Amino acid sequence: MSFDIVVSITRLSSFYSLTMLAPMLILVILSLFVFVIPPERLDARLALSVTLFLSLTAMQFTLNDFLPHSSYPTSISKLVLVFYCVVALDVPESILACHLGGKKAVVMDAVTLVAAVVTLIISISVILAGK
């Protein structure tokens, strides 16, 4: 005589979405405001970018405490990597825009802003579709 016990366990993803991913996404959206700051104000642009990068790092440490450890990259870790890339893109772009100056910098800011938004949207949709 034998019997099987089946236990179904589900994880509520809304907790992680609301407490971790939403604030991280807000930080990434705030990083896009770097392109609103005039290119001549390199100090302000870099200060905002570095502050947001450090905030994202602190959020990732908190996220790592909540999630179980795994040997493979999860959807959340891939998404955080995309967030890092978008925020880190601001620093070299700001330095280059400051050195170009004038209308070239404004055009470059607009192109980089569009590229960052498109990259963010495509990456999020691909990562979430691959769940």
**Is 32 part of a structural domain of the chain?**
yes
Domain limits for position 57: 21-129
- Give the count of domains, the chain: 1
pLDDT in tens, 62-91: 888 877 788 888 778 888 888 898 888 888
**Is 92 part of a structural domain of the chain?**
yes
> Residues with Cβ < 8 Å from 86, sequence gap 6 or more?
28, 31, 116, 119, 120
Record the pTM. 0.74
pLDDT in tens, 86-111: 888 888 888 888 888 777 777 877 88
Percentage of residues of the chain with pLDDT beyond 90: 11
**Is 78 part of a structural domain of the chain?**
yes
What secondary structure, in 3-state letters, does 82-126 show?
HHHHHHHHHHHHHHHHHHHCHHHHHHHHHHHHHHHHHHHHHHHHH
**Is 51 part of a structural domain of the chain?**
yes
The two three-digit tokens of residue 42, written as one number: 């390199």
pLDDT value for 130: 62
- CATH code assigned at 44: 1.20.58.390
